[in-house]
Chain A
Amino acid sequence: MASSCPEEKDNQPSPACSCQEAPAAGLKPDFPVLSGDTAVCCGGQPAEPCSPYEKPGLRLWGFVEDFMDTPAGPVPRVRTHLIRADRLGTVFARVGIGRDSYRIAPGLHSVGAPDSESPVMVTANYKLSFDALRCSLSGISAWILVVDTHRRLILPQLSATGVVARQVKTMCGFEVVWGPVHARHLKAFLDGGMKATPAMRKVTFSFRERVELIPVELNHMGKPTLYLLPALFLLSGLGQGFFSVSAAVSRGVSALLAYLLAVATGAVIAPALLPWLPGRAFALKGAGLGAAAGALLSALFAGQLARSEMLALTLFIMAVSSYLAMNFTGSTPFTSPTGVEKEMRKAIPAQAAGALTAVILWVSTGFMGG
């Protein structure tokens, strides 16, 4: 990078400009000036009057040509070529002397005569990077924003699905450090020297975490339930006399109970007992629970329900419970979209067939029983 820079032409002596370290400055102009003997101002000409931008305890970098006044305060205008001190610094850095502290103060610099419309180049506070940039800007008017790249951004690990760490580094110079999945591990992470243990890197899905999701699952049931309830009573009332209100009420209550059981198994018990339910597919887990609930209902109403009705209600509970459990896939941190789609292609036709069979059985029993 340095070799591509034009040779320093003028002989302006600047022995005092091989400054070592820039101060970590705040918002105030990051004067690229550093400590040194205050008697000497920018070189070996003590007689020369000092610039109004001088600060006690700071010494000017050789690459600063002068300062330009801006609404944001004075901004150093930097040279677009290297001087001897720059080259010497490059050599030192290349051989490894003071390489890790070869940096300048972060902040705004300028080249040429930039104005409010001029582009802003962002670079690192490593001086070699800064040199490479300014040497390429000869004849250009622009701002140079030097960013402290020693700063790190600690990002939550799970943001990695949308953040490319190396792009952050190239685009703004900040180093991305992937923090732990859970904020509660941050302290241990920092104490461990920004290292996460394997356990900190993994998502969890504890009983508590699963149970916390149940209210929203139930909340989603509101609208479908509103449509379903009248349909249940309507279908229950259909019979020989076309429609019987008493049948709608008596049979409708058991259908309603079946529906409540289906919601309980699919949207409450299935999430809560997820890891202990047999089967990998959520639809299967829900259907299994539904079958158990159907058996329970049949046992409870053994005297009141015909066998076809028991079968109808069991199928109905299984279909609804299976569907609801399947919908829980979106709330977990371990289901893959390919897997969910595969599951759904098999499960949805089965659920639809089960529900349809249930309706046919239920209504036909109504007509036969009277």
Chain B
Amino acid sequence: MDNFRYLPGVSTLEYEENLCVGCGSCEIVCPHGVFTMNAKKARLVDKDGCMECGACALNCPTAAIRVTPGVGCAAYIISGWIHGKENARRIWAARCRLWMDTGYTRPSCTSRAKCSKLRS
């Protein structure tokens, strides 16, 4: 993925290293190697690689990581502008299911995971 870089300096990812208990979950669940374990502490090594999927924050036992998770999809964001964020979620819940069936999000498994997250 190193040849894919998106806009720098935008991610909402925040990390408080002093809260880290060194469990290593963030390093494991991140699909972009944003965190690396070093001396029993997670180090935020590539913030600009973050796609805001939210897996690390969700699985951090001490809430040392915070991020506003979402779907990096222009069509979905337009839908949010038009219908409001909550309604867009509802509309897309059905759509994502359909897309999953048709394999639309196949290679971008992460957005597929994000679609299933949308469903909840």
- Interface, chain A (partner B; CB < 8 A): 156-166, 178, 181-182, 196, 198, 201-206, 209-210, 212-213, 216, 274-275, 280-282, 326-327, 329-344
Closest 9 pairs (CB-CB, A-B): A330-B73, A209-B107, A337-B70, A335-B72, A160-B29, A160-B55, A339-B7, A333-B108, A158-B113
Q: List 30 A-B contacts (CB under 8 A).
A: A157-B28, A158-B109, A160-B59, A160-B113, A161-B53, A161-B110, A161-B114, A163-B58, A201-B33, A202-B31, A203-B1, A203-B108, A206-B107, A209-B108, A213-B106, A326-B74, A329-B74, A330-B75, A331-B73, A333-B108, A333-B110, A334-B6, A334-B51, A335-B6, A335-B51, A336-B11, A336-B51, A337-B52, A340-B72, A342-B10
Q: Is the CB of B77 within 8 A of A161?
A: no
- With a cutoff of 8 Å between Cβ atoms, the chain A residues found around residue B7 in the complex are 280-281, 336, 339, 342-343
Contact of A338 with B1 at beta-carbon distance under 8 Å, contacts A203-B31, A209-B107, A216-B104 already known: no
Q: Is the CB of A161 within 8 A of B58?
A: yes
Cα–Cα, bound, A337→B115 (Å): 13
Residue of A with least CB distance to B69: A161
- Interface, chain B (partner A; CB < 8 A): 1, 3-8, 10-12, 25, 28-33, 49-55, 58-59, 61, 68-78, 102, 104-114, 116-117, 120
Q: Is the CB of A178 within 8 A of B10?
A: no
- With a cutoff of 8 Å between Cβ atoms, the chain A residues found around residue B49 in the complex are 334
Cα–Cα, bound, A342→B70 (Å): 14
Which of the residues A212, A334, A341 comes within 8 Å of B1, measured between beta carbons? A334
Cα–Cα, bound, A340→B12 (Å): 13
Cα–Cα, bound, A330→B33 (Å): 20
- With a cutoff of 8 Å between Cβ atoms, the chain B residues found around residue A282 in the complex are 74
Cα–Cα, bound, A210→B108 (Å): 9
Q: Is the CB of B59 within 8 A of A165?
A: yes
Q: Is the CB of A344 within 8 A of B77?
A: yes
- With a cutoff of 8 Å between Cβ atoms, the chain B residues found around residue A340 in the complex are 72-74, 77
Q: Is the CB of B59 within 8 A of A164?
A: yes
Q: Is the CB of B12 within 8 A of A338?
A: yes
Contact of A216 with B102 at beta-carbon distance under 8 Å, contacts A159-B113, A338-B68 already known: yes
